[in-house]
Amino acid sequence: MRVPAFPTVVRVVDSHTEGEPTRVVVEGWPQPVGDTMAARRDDLADHWDHLRSAVVCEPRGHDAMVGALLTPPVTTGAAAGVIFFNNVGYLGMCGHGTIGVVRTLEHLGRITAGRVLLDTPVGAVSAELAVDGAVTIRNVPSYCHARDVAVEVPGLGRVVGDVAYGGNWFFITHLAEPAVRLDQVDRLGRLTRDIMAALRGQGVTGKDGAEIDHVEVSAPPVRPDADARNFVLCPGGAYDRSPCGTGTSAVMAALHARGALAIGAEWRQESITGSLFTGWLEEQGADLIPCVRGTAHITGETDLRFDAADPFRAGFTAAG
Protein backbone atom coordinates (compact mmCIF):
# COMPACT_ATOMS: atom_id res chain seq x y z
CA MET A 1 0.00 0.00 0.00
CA ARG A 2 1.24 3.49 -0.89
CA VAL A 3 1.93 5.54 2.25
CA PRO A 4 0.44 9.05 1.81
CA ALA A 5 3.00 11.86 1.91
CA PHE A 6 2.72 14.30 4.80
CA PRO A 7 4.61 17.52 5.33
CA THR A 8 6.07 17.77 8.83
CA VAL A 9 4.42 21.11 9.53
CA VAL A 10 1.44 22.95 7.99
CA ARG A 11 1.02 26.56 9.07
CA VAL A 12 -2.58 27.77 9.49
CA VAL A 13 -4.35 30.95 10.54
CA ASP A 14 -7.69 30.41 12.27
CA SER A 15 -10.57 32.87 12.35
CA HIS A 16 -14.28 32.87 12.88
CA THR A 17 -16.82 34.73 10.76
CA GLU A 18 -19.92 35.52 12.78
CA GLY A 19 -19.24 32.36 14.80
CA GLU A 20 -18.28 29.95 11.98
CA PRO A 21 -14.62 28.87 11.90
CA THR A 22 -12.25 29.11 8.93
CA ARG A 23 -8.75 27.62 8.93
CA VAL A 24 -6.58 29.13 6.19
CA VAL A 25 -3.57 27.07 5.15
CA VAL A 26 -0.74 29.51 4.51
CA GLU A 27 2.37 27.29 4.34
CA GLY A 28 3.53 23.70 4.16
CA TRP A 29 0.83 22.11 1.96
CA PRO A 30 2.20 21.10 -1.48
CA GLN A 31 0.46 23.13 -4.20
CA PRO A 32 -2.10 21.30 -6.35
CA VAL A 33 -1.46 21.46 -10.10
CA GLY A 34 -3.84 22.83 -12.76
CA ASP A 35 -4.54 25.92 -14.85
CA THR A 36 -7.99 26.49 -13.34
CA MET A 37 -9.15 26.47 -9.75
CA ALA A 38 -11.52 23.58 -10.53
CA ALA A 39 -8.58 21.54 -11.92
CA ARG A 40 -6.54 22.36 -8.80
CA ARG A 41 -9.42 21.31 -6.57
CA ASP A 42 -9.64 17.99 -8.46
CA ASP A 43 -5.86 17.47 -8.20
CA LEU A 44 -6.05 18.19 -4.49
CA ALA A 45 -8.89 15.67 -4.11
CA ASP A 46 -6.96 13.04 -6.12
CA HIS A 47 -3.55 13.43 -4.47
CA TRP A 48 -3.81 15.35 -1.19
CA ASP A 49 -7.19 14.46 0.25
CA HIS A 50 -5.51 13.01 3.36
CA LEU A 51 -4.26 16.54 4.12
CA ARG A 52 -7.81 17.91 3.88
CA SER A 53 -8.98 15.57 6.65
CA ALA A 54 -5.72 15.96 8.59
CA VAL A 55 -6.12 19.75 8.71
CA VAL A 56 -9.85 20.16 9.44
CA CYS A 57 -10.95 16.94 11.15
CA GLU A 58 -10.31 15.78 14.71
CA PRO A 59 -7.95 15.73 16.53
CA ARG A 60 -6.52 18.97 15.02
CA GLY A 61 -9.90 20.40 13.98
CA HIS A 62 -13.57 19.44 14.30
CA ASP A 63 -16.59 18.80 12.08
CA ALA A 64 -17.67 22.46 11.82
CA MET A 65 -14.23 23.64 10.66
CA VAL A 66 -13.97 24.88 7.06
CA GLY A 67 -10.49 24.86 5.55
CA ALA A 68 -9.15 27.14 2.83
CA LEU A 69 -5.99 26.40 0.88
CA LEU A 70 -4.39 29.49 -0.66
CA THR A 71 -2.93 29.05 -4.14
CA PRO A 72 -1.45 31.47 -6.66
CA PRO A 73 -4.27 33.27 -8.55
CA VAL A 74 -5.46 32.23 -12.03
CA THR A 75 -7.08 35.59 -12.90
CA THR A 76 -5.09 38.73 -13.65
CA GLY A 77 -5.40 41.07 -10.71
CA ALA A 78 -6.57 38.44 -8.22
CA ALA A 79 -4.79 38.39 -4.84
CA ALA A 80 -4.97 34.59 -4.45
CA GLY A 81 -6.78 31.43 -5.40
CA VAL A 82 -8.77 29.65 -2.69
CA ILE A 83 -9.97 26.06 -2.43
CA PHE A 84 -12.48 25.53 0.39
CA PHE A 85 -12.88 22.14 2.05
CA ASN A 86 -14.56 20.57 5.06
CA ASN A 87 -14.74 17.32 7.01
CA VAL A 88 -16.09 15.35 4.03
CA GLY A 89 -14.94 17.08 0.85
CA TYR A 90 -14.80 20.35 -1.09
CA LEU A 91 -17.08 23.40 -1.31
CA GLY A 92 -17.56 25.33 -4.56
CA MET A 93 -17.68 28.60 -2.70
CA CYS A 94 -17.93 29.59 0.90
CA GLY A 95 -19.22 32.99 1.98
CA HIS A 96 -18.13 33.00 5.61
CA GLY A 97 -14.85 31.40 4.51
CA THR A 98 -14.20 34.17 1.97
CA ILE A 99 -14.69 36.78 4.70
CA GLY A 100 -12.27 34.79 6.89
CA VAL A 101 -9.72 34.56 4.05
CA VAL A 102 -9.87 38.33 3.45
CA ARG A 103 -9.27 39.08 7.15
CA THR A 104 -6.47 36.50 7.16
CA LEU A 105 -4.76 38.10 4.13
CA GLU A 106 -4.99 41.44 5.94
CA HIS A 107 -3.57 39.86 9.10
CA LEU A 108 -0.66 38.48 7.05
CA GLY A 109 0.00 41.94 5.60
CA ARG A 110 -0.84 40.78 2.07
CA ILE A 111 -3.73 43.23 1.57
CA THR A 112 -5.05 46.45 3.10
CA ALA A 113 -8.53 47.98 3.12
CA GLY A 114 -10.06 48.13 -0.35
CA ARG A 115 -11.16 45.74 -3.07
CA VAL A 116 -9.67 42.26 -3.40
CA LEU A 117 -10.32 39.59 -6.03
CA LEU A 118 -10.14 35.88 -5.16
CA ASP A 119 -10.32 32.91 -7.53
CA THR A 120 -12.46 29.96 -6.46
CA PRO A 121 -13.41 26.72 -8.27
CA VAL A 122 -16.82 28.26 -9.17
CA GLY A 123 -15.47 31.59 -10.38
CA ALA A 124 -13.84 34.82 -9.26
CA VAL A 125 -15.31 36.48 -6.19
CA SER A 126 -14.54 40.06 -5.28
CA ALA A 127 -14.61 41.44 -1.77
CA GLU A 128 -14.28 44.84 -0.17
CA LEU A 129 -12.41 45.11 3.12
CA ALA A 130 -13.53 48.18 5.10
CA VAL A 131 -11.25 49.99 7.55
CA ASP A 132 -13.41 48.76 10.46
CA GLY A 133 -12.74 45.15 9.39
CA ALA A 134 -16.16 44.42 7.87
CA VAL A 135 -15.94 42.49 4.60
CA THR A 136 -18.49 42.63 1.78
CA ILE A 137 -18.29 39.81 -0.70
CA ARG A 138 -19.66 40.03 -4.22
CA ASN A 139 -20.62 36.44 -4.81
CA VAL A 140 -20.91 34.37 -7.98
CA PRO A 141 -24.21 34.70 -9.96
CA SER A 142 -27.02 33.10 -7.99
CA TYR A 143 -30.52 31.98 -8.92
CA CYS A 144 -33.64 30.12 -7.87
CA HIS A 145 -33.74 26.86 -9.82
CA ALA A 146 -37.15 25.54 -8.72
CA ARG A 147 -39.91 26.81 -6.42
CA ASP A 148 -42.22 24.83 -4.14
CA VAL A 149 -40.55 21.46 -4.63
CA ALA A 150 -42.20 18.77 -2.48
CA VAL A 151 -40.42 15.78 -0.91
CA GLU A 152 -41.86 13.03 1.28
CA VAL A 153 -39.74 12.75 4.40
CA PRO A 154 -40.28 9.64 6.55
CA GLY A 155 -41.53 10.69 9.98
CA LEU A 156 -42.05 14.30 8.86
CA GLY A 157 -44.40 14.02 5.89
CA ARG A 158 -44.51 16.37 2.90
CA VAL A 159 -41.86 19.08 3.05
CA VAL A 160 -41.95 21.90 0.49
CA GLY A 161 -39.03 24.14 -0.36
CA ASP A 162 -37.14 26.06 -3.03
CA VAL A 163 -34.01 24.80 -4.76
CA ALA A 164 -31.58 27.69 -5.17
CA TYR A 165 -27.91 28.25 -6.01
CA GLY A 166 -25.71 30.72 -4.13
CA GLY A 167 -22.27 29.24 -4.90
CA ASN A 168 -23.47 25.95 -3.37
CA TRP A 169 -26.84 24.20 -3.83
CA PHE A 170 -29.55 24.70 -1.22
CA PHE A 171 -32.98 23.32 -0.42
CA ILE A 172 -34.67 26.16 1.50
CA THR A 173 -37.68 25.29 3.61
CA HIS A 174 -39.72 26.29 6.67
CA LEU A 175 -40.63 23.89 9.49
CA ALA A 176 -43.54 24.39 11.90
CA GLU A 177 -41.25 23.13 14.66
CA PRO A 178 -38.74 22.92 16.29
CA ALA A 179 -37.82 26.56 16.78
CA VAL A 180 -34.52 27.65 15.21
CA ARG A 181 -32.70 27.88 18.55
CA LEU A 182 -29.36 26.57 19.77
CA ASP A 183 -31.05 24.22 22.25
CA GLN A 184 -32.76 22.54 19.26
CA VAL A 185 -29.68 21.87 17.09
CA ASP A 186 -29.77 18.11 17.62
CA ARG A 187 -33.39 17.88 16.41
CA LEU A 188 -32.82 20.34 13.59
CA GLY A 189 -29.75 18.35 12.56
CA ARG A 190 -31.71 15.07 12.49
CA LEU A 191 -34.65 16.56 10.57
CA THR A 192 -32.50 18.31 7.96
CA ARG A 193 -30.42 15.15 7.47
CA ASP A 194 -33.70 13.28 6.86
CA ILE A 195 -34.73 15.97 4.35
CA MET A 196 -31.32 15.68 2.63
CA ALA A 197 -31.72 11.88 2.41
CA ALA A 198 -35.24 12.32 0.97
CA LEU A 199 -33.97 14.79 -1.65
CA ARG A 200 -31.33 12.25 -2.72
CA GLY A 201 -33.72 9.29 -2.56
CA GLN A 202 -36.36 11.11 -4.60
CA GLY A 203 -33.90 12.44 -7.18
CA VAL A 204 -34.34 16.14 -6.40
CA THR A 205 -31.28 18.01 -7.69
CA GLY A 206 -30.05 21.40 -8.76
CA LYS A 207 -29.45 22.35 -12.40
CA ASP A 208 -28.02 19.60 -14.62
CA GLY A 209 -28.37 17.04 -11.83
CA ALA A 210 -26.15 18.96 -9.39
CA GLU A 211 -26.28 17.51 -5.91
CA ILE A 212 -28.08 19.63 -3.29
CA ASP A 213 -25.68 19.49 -0.35
CA HIS A 214 -27.09 22.14 2.02
CA VAL A 215 -30.52 22.25 3.67
CA GLU A 216 -31.61 25.61 5.05
CA VAL A 217 -34.50 26.07 7.47
CA SER A 218 -35.76 29.63 7.42
CA ALA A 219 -37.67 31.00 10.41
CA PRO A 220 -38.80 34.32 11.88
CA PRO A 221 -35.98 36.42 13.33
CA VAL A 222 -35.20 36.81 17.02
CA ARG A 223 -33.11 39.98 16.66
CA PRO A 224 -35.13 43.13 16.07
CA ASP A 225 -32.69 44.18 13.29
CA ALA A 226 -33.01 40.92 11.30
CA ASP A 227 -35.45 39.81 8.58
CA ALA A 228 -35.14 36.06 9.15
CA ARG A 229 -33.16 33.49 11.15
CA ASN A 230 -31.76 30.27 9.69
CA PHE A 231 -30.39 26.84 10.47
CA VAL A 232 -28.11 25.52 7.72
CA LEU A 233 -27.07 21.89 7.50
CA CYS A 234 -23.68 21.63 5.79
CA PRO A 235 -22.53 18.65 3.66
CA GLY A 236 -20.53 17.01 6.47
CA GLY A 237 -23.42 17.03 8.96
CA ALA A 238 -22.31 20.12 10.92
CA TYR A 239 -24.50 23.22 11.09
CA ASP A 240 -23.31 26.67 10.09
CA ARG A 241 -22.74 28.91 13.10
CA SER A 242 -22.83 31.97 10.82
CA PRO A 243 -25.84 32.95 8.67
CA CYS A 244 -24.05 31.16 5.77
CA GLY A 245 -22.87 33.42 2.96
CA THR A 246 -23.85 31.11 0.12
CA GLY A 247 -27.10 30.28 1.96
CA THR A 248 -27.93 33.97 2.37
CA SER A 249 -27.21 34.40 -1.36
CA ALA A 250 -29.51 31.48 -2.25
CA VAL A 251 -32.29 32.80 0.01
CA MET A 252 -32.07 36.26 -1.56
CA ALA A 253 -32.25 34.72 -5.06
CA ALA A 254 -35.30 32.65 -4.03
CA LEU A 255 -37.03 35.69 -2.48
CA HIS A 256 -36.30 37.71 -5.61
CA ALA A 257 -37.84 34.98 -7.78
CA ARG A 258 -41.02 35.33 -5.67
CA GLY A 259 -41.04 39.10 -6.06
CA ALA A 260 -40.31 39.43 -2.32
CA LEU A 261 -36.87 41.09 -2.51
CA ALA A 262 -36.12 43.98 -4.85
CA ILE A 263 -32.69 44.63 -6.39
CA GLY A 264 -30.68 46.70 -3.90
CA ALA A 265 -33.02 46.13 -0.94
CA GLU A 266 -31.22 45.01 2.24
CA TRP A 267 -31.80 41.51 3.61
CA ARG A 268 -30.56 40.96 7.17
CA GLN A 269 -29.97 37.28 7.76
CA GLU A 270 -29.63 36.08 11.34
CA SER A 271 -27.98 32.75 12.19
CA ILE A 272 -29.01 30.23 14.81
CA THR A 273 -26.25 31.67 17.03
CA GLY A 274 -27.72 35.18 16.72
CA SER A 275 -24.99 36.57 14.43
CA LEU A 276 -25.88 38.61 11.35
CA PHE A 277 -25.00 39.02 7.67
CA THR A 278 -26.41 41.94 5.71
CA GLY A 279 -27.04 41.19 2.06
CA TRP A 280 -28.51 42.68 -1.09
CA LEU A 281 -28.78 41.78 -4.75
CA GLU A 282 -27.21 43.58 -7.69
CA GLU A 283 -27.90 43.04 -11.38
CA GLN A 284 -25.07 42.42 -13.82
CA GLY A 285 -26.56 41.96 -17.30
CA ALA A 286 -28.87 38.97 -16.92
CA ASP A 287 -27.10 37.79 -13.74
CA LEU A 288 -28.15 38.29 -10.15
CA ILE A 289 -25.12 39.03 -7.97
CA PRO A 290 -25.57 38.68 -4.21
CA CYS A 291 -23.48 40.90 -1.94
CA VAL A 292 -23.03 39.79 1.67
CA ARG A 293 -21.38 41.73 4.48
CA GLY A 294 -20.04 40.31 7.74
CA THR A 295 -17.05 40.39 10.05
CA ALA A 296 -14.36 37.86 10.90
CA HIS A 297 -11.89 37.80 13.78
CA ILE A 298 -8.51 36.07 13.88
CA THR A 299 -8.51 33.44 16.65
CA GLY A 300 -5.10 31.80 16.28
CA GLU A 301 -1.98 30.98 14.32
CA THR A 302 -0.76 27.44 14.57
CA ASP A 303 1.84 25.04 13.27
CA LEU A 304 -0.01 21.76 12.76
CA ARG A 305 2.38 18.82 13.15
CA PHE A 306 2.11 15.39 11.56
CA ASP A 307 4.18 12.89 13.47
CA ALA A 308 4.73 9.73 11.39
CA ALA A 309 3.98 7.65 14.49
CA ASP A 310 0.61 9.39 15.07
CA PRO A 311 -2.20 6.93 14.21
CA PHE A 312 -4.55 9.92 13.77
CA ARG A 313 -2.33 12.08 11.62
CA ALA A 314 -4.85 11.89 8.73
CA GLY A 315 -7.68 12.92 11.09
CA PHE A 316 -11.04 11.27 11.66
CA THR A 317 -14.72 12.17 11.51
CA ALA A 318 -17.90 10.34 12.35
CA ALA A 319 -19.48 11.99 9.28
CA GLY A 320 -18.11 9.29 6.96
Applying CB under 6 A, which residues contact ligand PYC?
20, 66, 91, 94-96, 168, 234, 240, 242, 244-246
Nearest to 139 by CA among 249, 232, 265: 249
d(CA 222, CA 64): 23
Please, which residue, 277 or 306, has the CB nearer to ligand PYC? 277
Residue 94: active-site member:
yes
Please, which residue, 18 or 162, has the CB nearer to ligand PYC? 18
Measured CA to CA in angstroms, residue 160 lies from 32, 174, 201 at distances of: 40, 8, 15
Q: Which of 57, 144, 244, 291 is catalytic?
A: 244
Shortest distance (Å) from residue 146 CB to ligand PYC: 20
Contacts of 185 (CB under 8 A, 6+ apart): 231, 239, 272
Please, which residue, 12 or 140, has the CB nearer to ligand PYC? 140
Shortest distance (Å) from residue 240 CB to ligand PYC: 5
d(CA 278, CA 272): 15
Residue 144: active-site member:
no
* C-alpha triplet 10, 15, 21: angle, nearest 5°: 95
Please, which residue, 85 or 306, has the CB nearer to ligand PYC? 85
Shortest distance (Å) from residue 2 CB to ligand PYC: 31
The answer to whether 111 and 124 are in contact (CB under 8 A) is: no
Q: Which of 94, 144, 234, 291 is catalytic?
A: 94
**Terminus-to-terminus CA distance in the chain, angstroms?**
22
Shortest distance (Å) from residue 101 CB to ligand PYC: 11
Positions marked active-site? 94, 244
